[in-house]
Structure 1
């Protein structure tokens, strides 16, 4: 019903190697290990799209080994040369860059430009029974996203720190100093069909679903998103 994270020039996922690595091109990745947070999701999709874009066949792409590594251990695993490539984003990426000694092969932003990558999901039943609640939630999230874009970064970080401290959960606010952007592409977090079809096309490409099995216009809607009511996905 609304996008809530994505990739842009500040909020992106990069595929990194050590500074001394000999890996330079997509074809160099054949037979190498790429560490990522999970399989079958954003990072693996970007890897496959990158390899396909640069001419690797499906059989060649399958020879690039994908390894699940807990995000907090990914940088260390790369530096210990237990993997050849590490997918890093957000605070984990920025801390690795601060330390130095790593080099970016490519990022999802460089691959696809700015795009929203993930959405909040409601069941159809909830939407039918609670349209007003759904509209309040979606419109509120959209306004918060727009506010974060239009407001100086320091003010956004200060507001988030205030919220964390006020809820009294004994949480550290230190990671917030690394916040740059939520990466959501469209105003109000409104969803675009091609932001979802990239996933269905990828799943069909690798044989997880049949081509045309998922109709993207049936799985999203902007109906509850304030001024976005005319841009419905269903």
Structure 2
């Protein structure tokens, strides 16, 4: 009887041992599989004279084995994310307010990483020519203000500037917003085709260095440091290619942190090398004015406030209804390696 009991215990032990080996093998196999991207080429649109963080990530080797395929440039975040929805590109990036509007229109998308923001070193600003009669918000009534695209971040900032100064909606409606490519805005201001222009980050800093224009206000002065644009994929793309999305976010997040922790001169040299090597007839001097990564959260982690700010603003202005869109339905940090809740699992 004792021998029978002993043999039974031995059999049970062997069963549990074998089961643990099988489970361990399955787990390791799943981990290995999880690191294999389903799609090895990602189509995207670039921005003239700028190096996007995914482009930097590819150059640093952080995206391998994924390759980026440039299909052309855009001057508009809303156009870029619309191209992602229609499948013309695999991912797109835009002002978070534009993403809010896209989700409100029932587009099945998810923001996965922040890639543009403002801090004390890197920020955008509103310019007028030196000697202009425009000295403050109220002086902009009836004048033309250049922005990269109607209804996007630059128009939001100028409008917020006017609202903070106490201008009424009717007065703000008299400010004429004119869309033009970001790299052309400063020239249009000099030619007096525009009365004021909003320039972002390094384009703004190049204008300051060249002189001839007066800076009225920066987004950092208005709101402090924050992230204001994100990359997104469609829900369908994420469902079909979760490992590809994870690798993309991981590589882009690491590139952001590389830019934050690497000496400025080394970052500028790398960015210039990337721009020169792609032979797109671009102004390579713009990257000389790069100062900082300009992204709020570590590794591009998205904060709920990056979206609630614009949701609240749209509700206030009657663009959205109360509770029409929830921030948590717009974005996810689940693919970001710097997300502690993910890293701990």
User: Could you report, residue by residue, the CA deviation over 1:32-82 in whole angstroms, capped at 9, with x for unpaired residues?
Assistant: 221111111001111111111121121221111111233233222222322
Equivalent-residue separation in structure 1 for 2:313 and 2:190 (angstroms): 30
- Pick which of 95-104 and 137-146 moved more: 95-104
Consecutive aligned runs of 4 or more in structure 1 exceeding 4 Å deviation: 162-165
Equivalent-residue separation in structure 2 for 1:102 and 1:211 (angstroms): 41
**TM-score relative to the length of structure 1:** 0.88
Match in the other structure for 1:170: 279
Aligned pairs (5 A) from 1:195-210 = 195-210=306-321
- Pick which of 174-183 and 44-53 moved more: 174-183
Q: In structure 2, do the counterparts of structure 1 residues 161 and 214 end up closer, same or farther at CA, with 3 Å as the change threshold?
A: same
Match in the other structure for 2:157: 46
Q: Does 1:228 align with 2:339?
A: yes
* Counterpart secondary structure, 2:115: strand
Equivalent-residue separation in structure 1 for 2:156 and 2:250 (angstroms): 30
Q: Does 1:71 align with 2:182?
A: yes
Is contact 2:146-2:179 (8 Å) kept?
A: yes
Instruction: Give the drift of 1:229.
Output: 5.1
User: Could you report, residue by residue, the CA deviation over 1:3-37 in whole angstroms, capped at 9, with x for unpaired residues?
Assistant: 01112223221100111012222122222221111
Instruction: Give the drift of 1:162.
Output: 4.3
Instruction: Give the drift of 1:163.
Output: 4.2
Match in the other structure for 1:219: 330
Instruction: Give the drift of 1:126.
Output: 2.4
Q: Does 1:12 align with 2:127?
A: no
Equivalent-residue separation in structure 2 for 1:92 and 1:161 (angstroms): 15
* Counterpart secondary structure, 1:45: helix
Pairing partner for 2:146 from 21, 35, 38: 35
Q: In structure 2, do the counterparts of structure 1 residues 175 and 23 end up closer, same or farther at CA, with 3 Å as the change threshold?
A: closer
Match in the other structure for 1:136: 247
* Counterpart secondary structure, 1:224: coil
Equivalent-residue separation in structure 1 for 2:138 and 2:273 (angstroms): 47
* Counterpart secondary structure, 1:28: helix
Aligned pairs (5 A) from 1:61-210 = 61-164=172-275, 168-171=277-280, 173-210=284-321
**TM-score relative to the length of structure 2:** 0.62
* Counterpart secondary structure, 1:208: coil
Q: In structure 2, do the counterparts of structure 1 residues 83 and 162 end up closer, same or farther at CA, with 3 Å as the change threshold?
A: closer
* Counterpart secondary structure, 2:338: helix
* Counterpart secondary structure, 1:139: helix
Q: In structure 2, do the counterparts of structure 1 residues 97 and 77 end up closer, same or farther at CA, with 3 Å as the change threshold?
A: same
Equivalent-residue separation in structure 2 for 1:57 and 1:84 (angstroms): 21
Any unmatched runs of 5+ in structure 1?
none
- Pick which of 30-39 and 84-93 moved more: 84-93
Any unmatched runs of 5+ in structure 2?
1-111
Instruction: Give the drift of 1:138.
Output: 0.9
* Counterpart secondary structure, 1:230: helix
